Structure 1
Amino acid sequence: MRRRSVVLLPATLSLLLTALVGSPLAAEAETRSAATTYTYVNLGWLGVPAGGPISEAWDVNASRQVVGNSSNDQNPAAHAFLWENGRLTALEAIYSTGENNATAINDLGHIAGYTHVSFYEPPHAFLRRDGRTTDLGTGWGSGSGSAAYDVNSNGVVVGTRFRSQGSPVRAVMWKKGKLRDLGTLGGSSDQKWSTEAEANAINDKGQVVGTALPSTGNPLHGFIWQDGRMTDLGSLGGGTEATVAQDINERTQITGWSQNAAGQTNAFVWEAGAMRDLGTLPGGTGSFGYGINESGQVVGRSRTSDSYYGAHAFLWKNGEMVDLNTVVTNLPPDVSLELANAINDDGVIVGQTCYYCDPGKTADPHAYMLIPNS
């Protein structure tokens, strides 16, 4: 379960309880306690020639280990990092002078992402465990590429691959050294740089979520894959923009984003065949769900104005979307939290501060962690 993640998660909702503990409506009708507040931690950036001052956090596990990448304006090549116990450590690419990106980390500390493997080849998906990085390959020959976006506690990895630069992207799974193509929702494409399917997250039950091409063609539809079968999740009512499933928990609650009947793309939670529109922050014209934990809390990004660049990180729980900028007790005055990628089961959130900032928010965009104060 990711941002990943993960994007993922990366990474907000105390929702849709099962019949054992009550209905969603009953849960939301309960008296709400005072809003949780958070302590902000700047995770910094990699102080290497090709790193910093920009960094992004993609995922966090139960031990508060965080993965992401660092880059800079002059050299946008990404360098993967692991943050733990207050220390940021660079993770080397398989090809020593190439770039890499860490997108997900499971509770065992296994890290997934993608890395350059040679000067001439596109990046390949990797899995890092016990200090060793393994090239997961592509299943195809020279010129093909792949990327990993999530890894579960069983070491199963999901992501994408492509046969050559510009060929359609396919959703795949790596399990016990074997690669499996997850198929599509019946569609295929002969267009360059198109997506036939991508797998964004996997839970410990082996359920995979992502987005795939239906037999009717574009737009892409969100899916859940289980027991060898890909199922369409539906949409919020719109039909001209893609639906993307971004993360899934062990209760088979899924978050992502979809166009609604009004034509606006909003974050959603899907459970038991029903998709719920999470809305936006005040003034917003769209939102995106990136991460979900076992309590059903969702984190993501919501626009806060008509401007595409006016966005704040949010937490959704108990039927309410909260601007995370308003509940951090020590947020520096020049920092704005733009997006939240992942949330662990203790409510720890990771993400990134702003690229295109609100007025007066001039700090460099950095990876951050929010720790609940209660």
Structure 2
Amino acid sequence: MTYGEVDRRGIATSMRVTGTGRDAAGNARAFYYNGKETIDLGTFGGRDAQAYSLNRCGQIAGWAQDKNGLAHAFHYDGTLNDLGTLGGTESFGFAISTCGKVAGWSRTSMGETHAFYNDNAGMRDLGTLGGNASYALAMNGVGQVVGYAYGPGNNWYHAFLYDARTGAPIQDLGTLGDTSMAVDINDAGKIVGNSRVADGVLNAFCWEAGTMHNLGLLPGARSAEARAINDAGLIVGNMTYPDGRQVAFLHDGTTLRELGTLGGSSRSTAVAINGAGLVVGSSVNPAANAEHAVVWSSSYGMVDLNTRVRNLPAGIVLVSALAVADDGGIAVLTNKGLGVLRPRN
């Protein structure tokens, strides 16, 4: 099997990684690397499966096909557990909490697509904002789920919050002017996402205590996109400029700053941040004229991971850093497939 896809939620401490690879026939296969060996999670009798999110207990959320080729959300805890659907044909697991609760989306008996929350009591339909679709994209450790849902006539979509502790209907988080989408939430309930303002430009936001705050743009920037938030409230994402430059950014709750690029190139991305504020992503390395995996820290700035890894095998290039665990382990895409980097003591 070859491995090529790891979501930013697909890593945990002790070098554990989940993601999606391809077998010799080109079928998608969900895998779990437990720090020692790689396990094919299997399917429900079908061909394909994908894994997205891994918690500290080694539990995984994703989806796998049944014998009819229909996707069903799963919860993996050593066994692949079919979570069923909301009455329709398919469901897709996307996020898992530290307690093993799963969120995602499913077809309903009416053929609509609705976000769901699955706990020991079964799959809950989170509904919509009046339209016929909603999608859950992230969840925190206390059972709060975020994503986006469509309004009447499917004429718009807004970021939403669902709190499993109350079971109340999803809350419309509003917008900065047009559409909005929530992409991450921390355990304090701070939510980050992206919203188009009245002129259609994409801006990053942080929602807190009932208010959506525009993170703003740096001078000359055209748009901004948030990707993740850690429990300290640090937000990372990417800023674009009219000349085509894209530069990773960090927002510390007060100040927005660029994280730079390698060698002054025109491109860097930030995809994930851990509890200690370590940011991972990629940047174009001008000397190599190629994309390289990078890590950023407030103590040393942005560095090329290819220059920091000891005993990197000949011919291996670290192309992009995909996810980072709280103990500093990093999942990377290389020119030969996936790898995981162990932090130095």
TM-score (norm 1): 0.67
Partner Cα distance (1:277, 1:182) in 2: 27
> Is 2:186 the counterpart of 1:223?
no
Give the structure 2 partner of residue 100 of structure 1.
Answer: 92
Deviations, residues 275-302 of structure 1 (Å, cap 9, x unaligned): 2212234585422222212210112343
Partner Cα distance (1:298, 1:283) in 2: 18
Q: CA deviation at 1:373?
A: 5.8
130, 141, 144: which one pairs with 1:140? Answer: 130
Q: CA deviation at 1:139?
A: 3.9
Give the structure 2 partner of residue 205 of structure 1.
Answer: 188
Preserved CA contact (<8 Å) 1:237 1:260:
no
Identity of aligned residues (%): 32
Q: CA deviation at 1:230?
A: 0.9
Structure 1 segment 61-100 matched on structure 2, within 5 A: 61-68=55-62, 80=73, 89=80, 91-94=82-85, 97-100=89-92
Are residues 323 and 247 of structure 1, via their aligned partners in 2, closer, same or farther at CA, if it must alter by over 3 Å? same
Preserved CA contact (<8 Å) 2:83 2:118:
no
Partner Cα distance (1:10, 1:227) in 2: 28
Q: CA deviation at 1:239?
A: 3.5
> Is 2:270 the counterpart of 1:272?
no
Are residues 370 and 105 of structure 1, via their aligned partners in 2, closer, same or farther at CA, if it must alter by over 3 Å? farther
Paired residues in the alignment total: 308
Tell me, which stretches of 5 or more residues in structure 1 are unaligned?
Answer: 1-5, 12-38, 189-195
Give the structure 2 partner of residue 128 of structure 1.
Answer: 118
Q: CA deviation at 1:259?
A: 1.9
Deviations, residues 117-161 of structure 1 (Å, cap 9, x unaligned): 347223x212233383332221436xx111111111210111101
Preserved CA contact (<8 Å) 2:88 2:106:
no
Give the structure 2 partner of residue 234 of structure 1.
Answer: 216
Preserved CA contact (<8 Å) 1:210 1:222:
yes
Tell me, which stretches of 5 or more residues in structure 2 are unaligned?
Answer: 1-5, 12-34
Q: CA RMSD in A?
A: 4.0
Give the structure 2 partner of residue 16 of structure 1.
Answer: none
Give the structure 2 partner of residue 9 of structure 1.
Answer: 9
Deviations, residues 189-247 of structure 1 (Å, cap 9, x unaligned): xxxxxxx00111111221111111224x221111111111111111233433x311221
Partner Cα distance (1:330, 1:90) in 2: 39
Are residues 297 and 78 of structure 1, via their aligned partners in 2, closer, same or farther at CA, if it must alter by over 3 Å? farther
Deviations, residues 239-259 of structure 1 (Å, cap 9, x unaligned): 33x311221122221111112
Give the structure 2 partner of residue 113 of structure 1.
Answer: 104
Partner Cα distance (1:114, 1:290) in 2: 23
Query: Larger RCO: Structure 1 or Structure 2 (Cα < 8 Å, ≥ 6 residues apart)?
Result: 1
